[in-house]
Amino acid sequence: MVIDPVCGMTTNVNHTQISLAHGGALYTRLRIDFHLMPLIREWKMKCNHRARKKIMTLWIIVPLILVFHSSHGGSAEFERLYGELLASYWRPAVTTHGVDTTVFDYAQMTRDAQKSGSLFEQTLKAIERIEPTHFLNPNETKAFWINAYNFAAMRLVIDHYPVDSIRSFNISLVKYPWSKKAVRIGERSYSLEQIEKDILLKQFNDPRIVFAVSCAAVSCPDRIAQPFTAQQLDEQLDEIIRTFFRNPGKGLRLDRNRGLLKLSWILEKDMRLFQDRPMGVLGFVLPYLEREIREWLEINPVDISYFEHDWTLNDLAQAD
């Protein structure tokens, strides 16, 4: 005699088995064999309603939990491998066309990527196994798609290397690689434009995103040697922008004597993301500046202009 776990009644149980298998996914199936038919009728009469509710709850919740853990595990594997890729080929700042910028050793990455079972190949397979609709945490979703964009941009370069720019004719005959399908994630293939415009900006409306997604160019914000993570995302995004505005060659340059402020081309290109803020573009920039510069700009009028964007690849081979 045992207690029936569904409705709490006492009955004879011949065999109880829990199996976890249904193709590639996990499900819970309970098989309970009873000795006596009268007990079955009694079970139906006394606790049929409660039993159905509990069983239905199990059938709904258990698959959702298992799918979540499967998706989370896949994204964690991609994040780990992508982190190893960044750590292996990221290089500290060099000077390219007179601008200080962090770079990647694309030549070495390309040679290594051509080997069977390479880190690049493992990272590609890991992202292809992810089902992005199963993310439940907004920061996890945002961090994943930023990493996915940056890895996809890197893949466009690696697949066509040697190139001197992501806008190379070798990548896109119209010099617009952003509309080209760059990576498969789950059941769909995505372009850089789809990831940035249709997913990241549309879903989160966070202007910091345009500084985090990499155009793989000298004039873009410096890349960091780690992937973006859900736990540190806000700090990582803010620090990238602060670092960018400390770079007078591509982020921000202030001439106090002439009252001139020169800003990144990114702020001009994506003006729509900043123009509705108090003080517009300047209102976005100020919180990221050192206190002394911020206070000076708050009380002194300036004329704003923008850097020309240098599309040269952020490649160690392009260093001066």
Task: Give the model's pLDDT for residue 18.
Answer: 35
The structure tokens listed for 254 are 């202030």
pLDDT at 178 over 70: yes
Task: Give the model's pLDDT for residue 38.
Answer: 58
pLDDT digits 0-9 by tens, 50-104: 655 655 554 454 444 444 444 456 799 999 999 999 999 999 999 999 999 999 9
Give start and end residues of each alpha helix (H) in 117-270.
Answer: 119-128, 138-160, 192-193, 202-204, 209-212, 233-245, 265-269
Report the distance separating Cα 297 and Cα 312, nearest Å.
Answer: 31
Q: What is the mean pLDDT of residues 111-134?
A: 96
Report the distance separating Cα 260 and Cα 248, nearest Å.
Answer: 13
pLDDT at 190 over 80: yes
The structure tokens listed for 83 are 């982190």
Q: What is the mean pLDDT of residues 11-23?
A: 40
The structure tokens listed for 46 are 């006394």
Report the distance separating Cα 168 and Cα 173, nearest Å.
Answer: 8
Indicate the domain borders of the chain. 2-64, 72-244+312-318
| Averaged pLDDT of the chain | 86
pLDDT at 37 over 90: no
| Residue 148 near residue 196, CB atoms below 8 Å | no
Residues sharing a CB contact under 8 Å with residue 191, sequence separation 6 or more, in sequence order: 178, 179, 180, 181, 182
pLDDT at 151 over 80: yes
> Residue 206: what are its φ and ψ, rounded to 5°?
-110, 110
